[in-house]
Amino acid sequence: RGSPGELNPPIPSLLSPTVTSEQIEHLHRRFKQLSQDQLTIRKENFDSIPDLEFNPIRGKIVHAFFDKRNLRQASDGLADEINFEDFLTIMSYFRPIEMNMDEEQLDRFRKEKLKFLFHMYDSDHDGKITLQEYRNVVEELLSGNPHLEKESARSIADGAMMEAASICVGQMGPDQVYEGITFEDFLKMWQGIDIETKMHVRFLNMETIAHCY
């Protein structure tokens, strides 16, 4: 680290100040492993993670790393490549809860995670999740279960879609629900669900697989 021509890993403000230099070094080694010692990572670099191939939402996970909304860029769309600072920005969404966080910090922490998840559902980048988009993600997640028949997965996904609609319909008219769920509606849907521990990533070791559920 720090040698001529080598990327010196910065720590963006998104990361907690309690992140240790050892953790940053570990992330930097992982980044270099993925990028094959280049300064940026491209989508094809994720092919070097064997277990990720079997993740039912592999495409959405990879997509999320290049989504400019998650990179906190002003423009919309997908980046062609990401550098180490971008990589740290994405990893910051999966950082664990800290014991010294006050209520305001916890609320911001939760919203950051849910915004990242919202973007994974909002596949057309229009700022709303249609019920069909929501259903599609649920069905994709269930497709990875070898013990669940396709029809059963479809029925569960349909049920999840209708539950999402019923949660939102109290605040919205039926037409509005079918036009799409906004981020504020999405927050209501996840109220009381412990996203802080359910959304995590086991991505840093080559033998493990990324998870977001």
Q: Are 87 and 11 in contact (CB under 8 A)?
A: no
Question: Does 210 map to a domain?
Answer: no
Predicted TM-score (pTM) of the model is: 0.72
Question: Does 160 map to a domain?
Answer: yes
Question: Does 2 map to a domain?
Answer: no
Q: Are 88 and 9 in contact (CB under 8 A)?
A: yes
Question: Does 8 map to a domain?
Answer: no
Residue 54's domain comprises: 21-205
Residue 202: which pLDDT band, with cuts at 50, 70 and 90?
low
The pLDDT assigned to 46 comes to 87
pLDDT(52) > 90: no
Question: Does 100 map to a domain?
Answer: yes
Question: Does 87 map to a domain?
Answer: yes
**Paired residues of 78 in beta bridges:** 67
Q: What is the DSSP letter of 94?
A: T
Helix axes 150-169 and 131-142, enclosed angle (nearest 10): 140
**pLDDT, mean of residues 171-194:** 72
CATH number of domain containing 194: 1.10.238.10
> 127 or 76: which carries more pLDDT confidence?
127
Question: Does 170 map to a domain?
Answer: yes
Q: Are 174 and 157 in contact (CB under 8 A)?
A: no
Question: Does 4 map to a domain?
Answer: no
Q: Tally the domains of the chain.
A: 1
pLDDT(1) > 50: no
